[in-house]
Copies of this chain bind each other. A is one copy, B any other.
Amino acid sequence: MMFGLDPPGRPAPAWTTREWFNTGAALKLADLRGKVVVLHAFQMLCPGCVQHALPQAQRIQAAFASRDVVVIGLHTVFEHHAAMTTVSLQAFLHEYRITFPVGVDAPSADAHDPIPVTMQAYGMQGTPTLVLIDRHGDLRRHAFGAEGDLVLGAAIATLVAEGAGAARPAG
């Protein structure tokens, strides 16, 4: 596949979240079937997220039609837990004018495990991590760190174009 896209066939894990911002109700991945989902996993005190990944997510939100592409933030806190609380995140989202929905990844059931549930389910290595999920709910790209707008725009558009034709038969 081109633009770092994996072939279809691997369903993206569900999200386990504790709360949501910028959305009326909690979002489930299954409810977004039919749209390309751009999932940005970040921490509010991660410099690479603040300087690169979140502005890029905002550009994606502006560049693609909401009928085709949904941008979702996932606050995957795996360090400095006491420093990145709900009240801090809320102020952060306000100050950085982030308007796409942001879910807070649920803490591990094991109190000694700092990695939250969804981060673990996806096997993320850190933040920022960008995940692309196609219209059928398949995980098509998983990338840790910074990437260029050109290839990312091409990857998302390729997923948009895939689903523009005939419906795929249900699995």
Which residues of A are at the interface with B, using a C-beta cutoff of 8 A?
A: 2-3, 45-47, 50-51, 56, 59-60, 63-65, 68, 79-80, 82-85, 87-88, 90-92, 94-96, 148-158, 160-162, 165
Contacts and interface: CB of A to CB of B under 8 A. Distances in A.
In this complex, which of A3, A150, A152 has the most chain B Cβ atoms within 10 angstroms of its Cβ?
Answer: A150
Contact of A83 (B90, B148, B156): B90
Number of copies of this protein chain within its complex: 4
A96 B47 contact: yes
Contacts of A90: 83
A59 to B, nearest CB: 5
B87 A82 contact: yes
A46 B95 contact: yes
